[in-house]
């Protein structure tokens, strides 16, 4: 008699669920990081800029570029420049220039992450007039969404997929001569004992391999016909069954009869 077993549904379903959930989360994080958050930032810019700098919404570009960013502005404010050329060298030409009163001019440098407003007086930058306005998400938040959350979920999804594919290829067969667990062959005559039994449903099979002692974990969460395989091993090798045996319940009527018929009554 030969018993053949594939993977149990427990481990298979667990890794399938982990894969589907983490892959879906990875898609969500990558979508937000690559498209969603930028679209949200650009929508906020399109809402704020017309009223702030006096430009028509129809004249706004679809994208605003990668610079300036909050870290760049923080570094700039550590030693504020006085010459407008310093800003154009770092951020390019301002998107819009608006004249003010009494020799004042306002330059606006806009990116997908926020807007730098630079106040000039008689051609010189007013240090306290450098004001940063951020959109909904900073570049760092967007990158974190992609390279941390997205990458982490994708890594877990790929690991779960690898384990799932390995499980789907699991094959266990046993007959009167040997047990074959994937590519591991164990003659019944080499089996020595069961150890480390757990009521949760696993046990280690100790066997001899070329003079050395090895162990194979049999797990009912992984092997579908776990109990049948253990029964077969015990029947054909004489090894003790590691599973606790159910004790028959005492019949109260039988116990009473035995007491009545016992000597000395």
Which residues are bridge partners to 219 per DSSP? Answer: 202
How far, CA to CA in Å, does 218 sit from each of 25, 68, 196, 231?
A: 33, 59, 11, 13
What confidence tens digit (pLDDT) does each residue in 48-77 have?
999 988 888 888 999 999 999 999 999 999
Give the end-to-end CA distance of the chain in Å, rounded to a whole number: 54
Name the one residue in this structure whose structure tokens are 């045996």.
245
Residue 14 has pLDDT above 70, yes or no: yes
Q: Kindly report the CATH number assigned to the domain that includes residue 200.
A: 2.30.29.30
How far, CA to CA in Å, does 187 sit from each of 47, 175, 178?
A: 75, 10, 4
DSSP-based three-state secondary structure for 81: coil
Q: What's the burial of 142, exposed, middle or buried (CB within 10 Å: 0-12/13-18/19+)?
A: buried
Of 210, 223, 220, 215, the C-alpha closest to 243 is 220
Domain housing 210: 171-237
* Cα separation, 172 vs 163, whole angstroms: 17
- Alpha-carbon torsion 215, 216, 219, 222, what sign? positive
Domains identified in the chain, total number: 1
* Cα separation, 81 vs 251, whole angstroms: 97
Establish if 226 belongs to a structural domain: yes
> Taking the model in full, what pTM does it have?
0.74
- The strand pair at 3-5 and 172-174 is best described as antiparallel
H/E run at residue 38: helix 37-53
Establish if 196 belongs to a structural domain: yes
Instruction: At 140, list the tokens.
Output: 């760092």
Residue 82 has pLDDT above 70, yes or no: yes
Establish if 161 belongs to a structural domain: no
Q: Would you say 233 and 188 are in contact if contact means Cβ atoms under 8 Å apart?
A: yes
Establish if 111 belongs to a structural domain: no
Q: What is the DSSP letter of 126?
A: E
Establish if 66 belongs to a structural domain: no
Phi, psi of 228 (to 5 degrees): -65, -35
* Cα separation, 170 vs 256, whole angstroms: 53
The three-state DSSP-derived secondary structure of 205-227 is EEEEECCEEEEEEEECCCECCHH
Chain Cα centroid distance, residue 177: 44
Q: What is the pLDDT of residue 257?
A: 54
The mean pLDDT of 96-109, rounded to a whole number, is 92
What confidence tens digit (pLDDT) does each residue in 149-176 have?
999 999 999 999 999 999 999 999 999 9
Q: What is the pLDDT of residue 13?
A: 94
Establish if 181 belongs to a structural domain: yes
Establish if 200 belongs to a structural domain: yes
The mean pLDDT of 71-94, rounded to a whole number, is 95
* Cα separation, 217 vs 137, whole angstroms: 50
H/E run at residue 14: helix 9-31
Establish if 180 belongs to a structural domain: yes
């Amino acid at each position: 008699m030969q018993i053949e077993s594939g993977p149990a549904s427990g481990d298979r379903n667990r890794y399938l669920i982990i894969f589907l959930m983490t892959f879906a989360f990875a898609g969500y994080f990558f979508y937000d990081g690559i498209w969603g958050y930028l679209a949200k930032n650009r929508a906020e810019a399109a809402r704020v800029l017309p009223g702030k700098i006096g430009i028509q919404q129809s004249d706004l570009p679809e994208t605003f570029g990668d610079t300036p960013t909050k870290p760049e502005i923080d570094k700039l404010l550590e030693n504020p420049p006085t010459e407008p050329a310093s800003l154009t060298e770092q951020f390019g030409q301002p998107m819009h220039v608006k004249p003010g009163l009494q020799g004042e001019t306002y330059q606006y440098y806009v990116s997908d992450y926020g807007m730098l407003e630079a106040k000039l007086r008689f051609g010189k930058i007013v240090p306290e007039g450098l004001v940063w306005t951020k959109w909904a998400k900073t570049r760092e938040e967007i990158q974190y969404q992609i390279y941390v959350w997205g990458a982490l979920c994708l890594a877990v999804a790929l690991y779960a997929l690898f384990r799932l594919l390995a499980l789907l290829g699991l094959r266990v067969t046993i007959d009167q001569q040997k047990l074959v667990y994937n590519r591991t062959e164990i003659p019944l005559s080499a089996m020595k004992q069961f150890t480390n039994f757990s009521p949760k449903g696993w046990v280690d099979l100790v066997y001899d391999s070329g003079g050395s002692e090895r162990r194979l974990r049999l797990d009912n969460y992984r092997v579908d016909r776990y109990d049948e395989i253990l029964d077969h091993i015990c029947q054909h090798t004489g090894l003790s069954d590691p599973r606790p045996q159910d004790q028959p319940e005492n019949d109260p009527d039988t116990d009473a009869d035995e007491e009545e018929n016992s000597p000395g009554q």
